[in-house]
A and B are shown apart, each in its own frame.
Chain A
Amino acid sequence: MKRKWLIPIVILLLFLSGCGNEVEIIDDISLVTVVGYDKGEDGKLIGTVSIPIYNPDFSINTEQYTSQAHLINENRDKLNAQSSKPLVSGKLLVALYSKELAREGLADLLDNLRRDPSIAANVYLAIVDGNVKELMDKQYSNVDLGIFLSRLIEQNIKTESLPKTNLHLFLNDYLEEGKDPFLPIIKKRKDTVEITQLGLFKGDNYVEAINYKAGFMFKGLSGNFKNASYTLKFKKDAYVFIQNLKSKRKVEVKHPDGRPQITVNLNLNGIIKEYNRTKVTGKNIVTDIEKKMEKEIQVKAEELIRRCQELGVDSFGIGEKVRQHSRSWTKEEWQTIYPELDIKVSVKVDIQESGVTK
């Protein structure tokens, strides 16, 4: 019985060894960490890839290859001809698109990322204000470009005002009915790269950018967040810095089938870190600060929502919330009623501590 199995196994081992995975020894391949696309002449794409070169002395150089083609994979073939080692995209970290391409729609370009099984779903996407190739031609600090850009976005998601975004979430927002995606817009400064704006999409088409400073509001309206900070102008020359801000969003929908009335409830709590006037003592000042902040955030949030309504962009997924309450929801109908909807924001701020001194 044992012999019976042994022989087929040995035969399989000997003859099927070629049917395994493709050998891609890590130092014999070129890992593409960033891809970028610009709009070229007569419908062509200018594709640029960035590859880190790891030197034995632990220093890192980056190499860029650029070519023009109609298709992404055609482009990849042309780039492969320039490289000494085969290009592989399994370690892709960031994909960049120029504003013009984004305006025309990203769905076809992203399709390539979706189809390749070696590409992770947590690849960061970004729109570049300016020329993509130009941004990729430079090595910022002493790390690889892909790691630099992915850390830039990651860090902003964790600590600053950028809502969580990546390939998976973008596609999720795009494919979900009643929600529109967004992407960060990055711009090359002299020696560095900066997130300057948030790009709002309608479907897969880039529509409009909002200032990155409004990102705080944007993040709060799109979902919950933790560990943000906020500077409030309390009185003339009196500023308050509030830290460890936590926010919870709750969307209330009334009359979902007729003309929906929507209230976005924001519950914030945080601690006062810095106040440049007097000591923060007494309950009154704290409650005053709370009230002032509530008012300010409400105004800003309603402003932001109104702007989105004007553009017909539903970045906060309000349509999706309504759909959850309604059986008769349709995309077409929603798109017609969305701009005229009455969306209110109700904010509640709770300041839990006014700081501890040593």
Chain B
Amino acid sequence: MKWLFGKKNKETNVETLDSLLKELKASSDFIHFHYEQSPHGYWISYFQTLVESKILHRDILPYVNKETLKSLEKFKEVIPIEDVEITSDVKKIKNKILQGYVFIQLHEHDNEGLIIHAATHKNRQVSVPEVEFSVIGPKEAFVESVDTNLNLVRKRLPIPNLRIEEVRVGKLSKTRTYIMYVEGISNEENVNTLRQRVKGIDFDTITDSSFIAQMIEDNHNSPFPQLIDTERPDRVAAILAEGKVAILVDGSPHAIFGPTTITEFFSAFEDYFLSWHIASAFRLIRIFAVAFSILSTPIYVATITYHYELIPKDLLSTLITSRSNIPLPPFFEAVFLELTIELLREAGARLPTKVGQTIGIVGGIVIGTASVEAGLTSNILLIIVALAALASFTTPIYRMGNTIRLIRFPFLVLGAIWGFVGIVLAFSFLIAHLLKLTSLGRPYLEPIYPPRITDWKDAIIRLPYSYLGKRPVQLQTQDTVRFSEQHAKKKRDHISRKSDIDD
């Protein structure tokens, strides 16, 4: 059986410092040299590609020259860098060198040495969010460096209760992963679940937070994402304050958070910047768009194929005329168009932006009109399919949008086989699946089921802030009150009365 599972990837055990240095020297970017100018003959070793040369030349090398520094202890006292340590732990030395520390020995074969932090940070500048862009509101987005990202969140929540726990994930990548939550607000159970799952990950390289999201989800076989990913630090700060738990991963410009509900996937963070009427209206439009996107093509196909009785008499002539020259049955016609749209989307996503736009025009206008004129598809179905595709793009969370586009196909197939009965069947399966789904052990369909009236205030619609005094019941937070609604009202009334007198 051994051939099947392969050899266990054992970490090479470095016994001595000498053998470690020997092993590292095999890489051409590893520098290990005797500093000749120094009167005491220091040995310096580091990875050229990990170390900031400015720090090395400004803060380390000048001190090495000084005659007075005969021992490592003295050296440690003088050097203007905080993260300095004398150690003989070979394993530690190895890890630190690999993270961009400079290692200094007095003599070549010493067992002890000084490790000095001099890691370089090559970062992208903090830029405007692209996936979750909002017209109003902050325009900062996460970058690939987790230190910057942590800073972006922490400066928004300047409280000591904000806990950040580091977990290293990935046997090879040893990716720095941070679990963030607010002590005293978020439920311990949620934090423990998340911590346990993150620690339980067994994988070689973690490239992005989406890896972790997929690995720790409650149900791996569900097409529905059970954790939200966001690139907005303001959103992460907001959900932490709400009592949720977030994960930041080094090298990933997306944070993931949970527990979440299905309605949260259809609320854009911009909703909180707009007045509540408008935000509620936009959310309703998005929900409608989802229903339309999933159901419109299957209902069209089912109606045209089986249930002609349902077509209003005034629509008959439009529908029949549009189909009068089409040789394909409605199902194949719909599949043809749906696939065309998916091809366009996929081609647009793979190509560089400028070419992608051209593809959009070619596909949308040329293929669309040509296939109608050629009599391959009816223009009404073309309109429906295009609208359904458009509607699916209104979902704010990209991963959810993909799911919406995917689950349309089972509906379409069942609708083509059994008509409306098939659509109802597919819908029943969908509902059953969603009812069973959980996010970090919390119900996914909440507040619709289990029905929790108090959580409706910020689900499908968003009530004014004065009604959002309580944290969501779903999260079972330790501190359930965000602010006292009565107290806030009293305060508000007091201010307004005062200003009346002043006038």
Tell me the A residues contacting B by CB distance below 8 Å. Answer: 2, 13, 17, 20-27, 29, 31, 33, 52, 54-56, 58, 60, 88, 90-91, 93, 118, 120, 144, 146-147, 150
CB distance from A115 to the nearest CB of B (A): 15
- Total of A-B residue pairs, C-beta within 8 Å: 71
The reply to whether A26 and B417 contact each other, CB–CB distance below 8 Å, is no
The reply to whether A20 and B316 contact each other, CB–CB distance below 8 Å, is no
Which 9 pairs, one residue from A and one from B, show the smallest C-beta to C-beta distance?
Answer: A90-B309, A20-B418, A54-B320, A21-B306, A27-B323, A26-B308, A54-B321, A21-B419, A17-B417
Checking B221, B325, B329, B417 against A25 with a beta-carbon cut-off of 8 angstroms, the contacting residue is B329
The reply to whether B306 and A54 contact each other, CB–CB distance below 8 Å, is no
The reply to whether B304 and A25 contact each other, CB–CB distance below 8 Å, is yes
> What are the residues of chain A within 8 A of B329 when measuring CB–CB?
25
The reply to whether B330 and A25 contact each other, CB–CB distance below 8 Å, is yes
Whole-angstrom distance between the alpha carbons of A29 and B308 in the complex? 10
The reply to whether A21 and B418 contact each other, CB–CB distance below 8 Å, is yes
CB distance from B253 to the nearest CB of A (A): 36
> What are the residues of chain B within 8 A of A147 when measuring CB–CB?
313-314
The reply to whether A26 and B418 contact each other, CB–CB distance below 8 Å, is no
- Is chain B's binding surface mostly helix, strand, loop or mixed? helix
The reply to whether B313 and A23 contact each other, CB–CB distance below 8 Å, is no
CB distance from B318 to the nearest CB of A (A): 9
- Taking A20-B419, A21-B306, A91-B308 as contacts, is the C-beta distance between A26 and B317 under 8 angstroms? no
Checking A13, A17, A29, A54 against B317 with a beta-carbon cut-off of 8 angstroms, the contacting residue is A54
CB nearest to A90 among chain B residues: B309
Q: Quick check: is B291 within 8 A (CB to CB) of the other chain?
A: no
The reply to whether B304 and A58 contact each other, CB–CB distance below 8 Å, is no
The reply to whether A58 and B306 contact each other, CB–CB distance below 8 Å, is no
Checking B221, B311, B324, B422 against A20 with a beta-carbon cut-off of 8 angstroms, the contacting residue is B422
Whole-angstrom distance between the alpha carbons of A27 and B375 in the complex? 14
The reply to whether B417 and A24 contact each other, CB–CB distance below 8 Å, is no
The reply to whether A58 and B317 contact each other, CB–CB distance below 8 Å, is yes
CB distance from A23 to the nearest CB of B (A): 6
> What are the residues of chain B within 8 A of A60 when measuring CB–CB?
317
CB distance from B387 to the nearest CB of A (A): 20
Checking A24, A52, A90, A120 against B305 with a beta-carbon cut-off of 8 angstroms, the contacting residue is A24
The reply to whether A20 and B330 contact each other, CB–CB distance below 8 Å, is no
Q: Quick check: is B274 within 8 A (CB to CB) of the other chain?
A: no
Checking B324, B421, B422 against A56 with a beta-carbon cut-off of 8 angstroms, the contacting residue is B324
> What are the residues of chain A within 8 A of B317 when measuring CB–CB?
52, 54, 58, 60, 144
- Taking A20-B422, A27-B324 as contacts, is the C-beta distance between A118 and B311 under 8 angstroms? no
Q: Quick check: is B326 within 8 A (CB to CB) of the other chain?
A: yes
- Taking A13-B417, A20-B417, A20-B418 as contacts, is the C-beta distance between A55 and B324 under 8 angstroms? yes
Whole-angstrom distance between the alpha carbons of A168 and B319 in the complex? 28
Checking B314, B316, B421 against A31 with a beta-carbon cut-off of 8 angstroms, the contacting residue is B316
Q: Which of A56, A88, A150 gathers the greatest number of chain B CB atoms within 10 Å?
A: A56
CB distance from A143 to the nearest CB of B (A): 8
> What are the residues of chain B within 8 A of A17 when measuring CB–CB?
417-418
> What are the residues of chain A within 8 A of B305 when measuring CB–CB?
23-26
